[in-house]
Structure 1
Amino acid sequence: MKRINWVSELFLIFFFIVAFFFVIKKCSEDKPIDSSKKNVPFDIDYTTGENQSTWEIIGGEQAKLDEIPWQVAFFIKNKPPNETNFCGGSIVHKGWIITSAHCFKKMYNDTLRVKKFSNVQVYSGSINLEGNGVKSDIEDIIFHPDFDATRLINDIALIKLKKPLELNSKNQSSIPIINEDKYFNLVRTNAMATASGWGIIDEKNTFPKILMKASVPIVDFITCKENYYLINRLVSKDMICAGYNDGGIDSCEGDSGGPLFIEDSLGNKFLFGVTSWGEGCAEPGYYGVYSNIMEHIDFINENCPECLNYSL
């Protein structure tokens, strides 16, 4: 009889241990992003352009003149782009830009957002923020309906321009959004992709004038998820990770909203990620986290079906 009681007690202890770790795991998955982290999306004043702080390229190199013609920057109207640049984006159609929702989080569910985004312009057609790029006004911002501004889930938005861009093959053109076939053929663990932007390039918070780019390997989802789980950060299924385990090269503050794209054997490039967040910049063990466009095709198709029309 005593032996049976001993076994029962052991079983109860085991049960409570398992239950305890299950609760801890669940809580860590639901924990909001720590607002003290430097990689949390900026809190910009859309009137003055003050306090901008977004993701940028660490350990990269300057882009060539016509290498990434779909890259755009967002800046404060009537102020120099090189002084008020706060986020990036990608031209996916002559009238549309795709970017991160958190770049405009202060306008999310804001009845005055039209007035606010009237103070923001899009800079395109030049890799130099002090160059003669095209400045475009915004007609509307369409946020993902399930955007979570705290945990950066569904961190994606579509920007409709008031006037369509004049696209050409040299310094201002669109990039095709990846389709399912290309995604499963190209986007795999350790495949090399490219991120770009005008974000911070060193520990001194230096912002470049010339567009920067970095080649980064795609990281296995489970590996990325487990690494961030250790510091109570959630990598959800709508995200994809890229970067080096030993750090050194990464997107950083100023690059948010910018492209993560991949090239096929014929040299065609496809957009499959949007720069979202990370732990620090190029920190060992913590990869760059991007919104996985393949997980948001329905959102794009519902709001901009023409953005998915391409022949490649």
Structure 2
Amino acid sequence: MVYSQLNHPKCMRVRCTGSELSLAECTIYNPEPIKTGVAVIKCYEEPPGECKKFLCANGKCLIHGKPCDGVDDCGDNSDEMCCQKCQGRAFLCKSGVCIPHYAVKDGIRDCLGGEDELDETDKAIENTFTDPMSEIREMRSSAESQVQCGIPNKQDDHSSRRKRSAGWEETLPTQIQWQVVIQDEGLIRCGGAYLGGCWVLTAAHCVRPKPKSFRIKLSVWKKHRPQSTTDIVPVKNIIIHHEYNPQTYANDIALVQLEELYLSDKCMGYNPAVRAVCVPWSTQQFQPNDTCTISGWGRSSTLKWANVTLVGDCEHYFKDRFLPGMECAGDLEGRVDSCQGDSGGPLVCTDASGLSYLWGIVSYGNKCSETNHLGIYTKVVHYFEWIRSKTGWPAVTKFNQ
């Protein structure tokens, strides 16, 4: 399209990654003088025969450019995924994606775990017409003003002890702030995880569609002894996944909606000992061999925590019992495993930026804490859209845009 009537026309170049919510999140460069037109479409033709270089996921044969150099030459970023290492100055994310060097420490989490923003400093992007970073921060801060998730209690943080732990350890009184107790007609059989707002996530086999029979206890340390920070909240609604199968434990997930306080949209008063855990949205956020944390009471009266390892070949251990929406984790030496009494409790993984995500819910297992036996967890990320459809925006993680 040519506008010959324009005097000294200029073209504004915009760079987007494809994950933006609006044009404001793209990088907008200085207007550049053009001679013939104001809009350019760059097309490509598929070369005849077999692609001898890199075949993009969209079918484009990558003739010019190199995979894993931080530049999206394919147009769908497939040439920057599944990389073992990056070329040149590109930065390798833990998930195997290469991003350009100028995206590191630019104020936006380009890597799923946020490792590109460690020791974040504010930097102006050179040669830009407008710096979109402040706009992004402003938009996101307003959208996220009602939710803070996955930030551990620094006073009772157990991360410094993780590497030294080889088994279950007692927590400190307010250490795991998203852990909850699910009480059914006065009896405690399961745990759960607080998502924020008025929502708790647990296993479907832990609940039944009789909300008046349940109470949720938050900030519990000793199972049968409330502490000064303990909140006990009635249940308003229980949403069991519509495809839950109690025989196979398929889709073993349920949402518990808490009762609001009188003349309020909140379910409890401000409690600094209670904090939401983040809900993961990408299956690539955590990988096999990552170390994550489980917590629960089991047969103990005091809340405990332990490290487990995510395992990638779960079918090898569980055969046809391992179904979509499941995750397995544990310690093949038999030192740590979730057992009876931990059901519904959280399996939490922490990313490079320090945010904690609810990666799994304790579902089932056999021969717990025995050699070569693992625990099965409901894989929360598999149900991200289901969770959002039932809870709405305020209950999802701070970085789920």
Q: Are 1:226 and 2:316 counterparts?
A: yes
Equivalent pairs counted in the alignment come to 225
Matched letter for residue 330 of structure 2: G
Name which of 93, 97, 115 aligns with 2:196. 93
| Aligned position for 1:119 | 213
Name which of 296, 300, 307 aligns with 1:208. 300
| Aligned position for 2:280 | 178
CA contact (8 A) 1:65 1:171 kept: no
More helix per residue: 1 or 2? Answer: 1
Distance 1:303 1:266 in 2: 28
- 1:173 deviates by 1.1
Distance 2:221 2:233 in 1: 16
**What SS does the corresponding residue of 2:378 show, helix, strand or coil?**
strand
Distance 1:102 1:66 in 2: 27
| Aligned position for 1:308 | 396
**Structure label with greater radius of gyration:** 2
> Which residues of 2 match residues 15-54 of structure 1 at below 5 A?
none
| Aligned position for 2:340 | 253
**What SS does the corresponding residue of 2:284 show, helix, strand or coil?**
helix
| Aligned position for 1:149 | 246
Matched letter for residue 189 of structure 1: P
CA contact (8 A) 2:250 2:325 kept: yes
> Which residues of 2 match residues 5-24 of structure 1 at below 5 A?
none
**What SS does the corresponding residue of 2:275 show, helix, strand or coil?**
coil
| Aligned position for 2:9 | none
- 1:128 deviates by 2.1
CA contact (8 A) 2:167 2:307 kept: no
> Which residues of 2 match residues 278-297 of structure 1 at below 5 A?
278-297=365-384
Matched letter for residue 284 of structure 2: F
Q: Are 1:131 and 2:233 counterparts?
A: no
**What SS does the corresponding residue of 1:284 show, helix, strand or coil?**
coil
- 1:172 deviates by 0.8
Structure of higher RCO (CA pairs closer than 8 Å, 6+ residues apart):
1
Once the two structures are superposed, what CA deviation does each residue of 1:65-110 show, in whole Å capped at 9, x if it has no partner?
3321010011244x4xxxx310000000120000000112xx3xxx
CA contact (8 A) 1:228 1:286 kept: no
> Which residues of 2 match residues 77-88 of structure 1 at below 5 A?
77=185, 79=186, 84-88=187-191
Percentage identity across paired residues of the two chains: 27
Once the two structures are superposed, what CA deviation does each residue of 1:122-170 show, in whole Å capped at 9, x if it has no partner?
11123222123211111110011111111000000000001213354x4
| Aligned position for 1:60 | 168
Q: Are 1:72 and 2:72 counterparts?
A: no
CA contact (8 A) 1:94 1:167 kept: no
Once the two structures are superposed, what CA deviation does each residue of 1:154-200 show, in whole Å capped at 9, x if it has no partner?
000000001213354x42111111222xx514x1111100011111x
Give the unaligned 5+ runs of structure 2. Answer: 1-165, 261-266
What do you get for the CA RMSD once the two structures are aligned? 1.8
- 1:244 deviates by 1.3
CA contact (8 A) 2:279 2:384 kept: no
| Aligned position for 2:288 | 189
- 1:246 deviates by 1.9
- 1:309 deviates by 4.7
Once the two structures are superposed, what CA deviation does each residue of 1:216-270 show, in whole Å capped at 9, x if it has no partner?
01011x2x212122xxx60112101111112120110011111011112232211
TM-score when scaled to structure 1? 0.68
CA contact (8 A) 1:218 1:242 kept: yes
Once the two structures are superposed, what CA deviation does each residue of 1:45-72 show, in whole Å capped at 9, x if it has no partner?
xxxxxxxxxxxxx941111233210100
CA, structure 1 residues 128+94, in 2 after alignment: closer, same or farther (shift >3 Å)? Answer: farther
**What SS does the corresponding residue of 2:278 show, helix, strand or coil?**
coil
Distance 1:160 1:131 in 2: 22
Q: Are 1:235 and 2:331 counterparts?
A: no
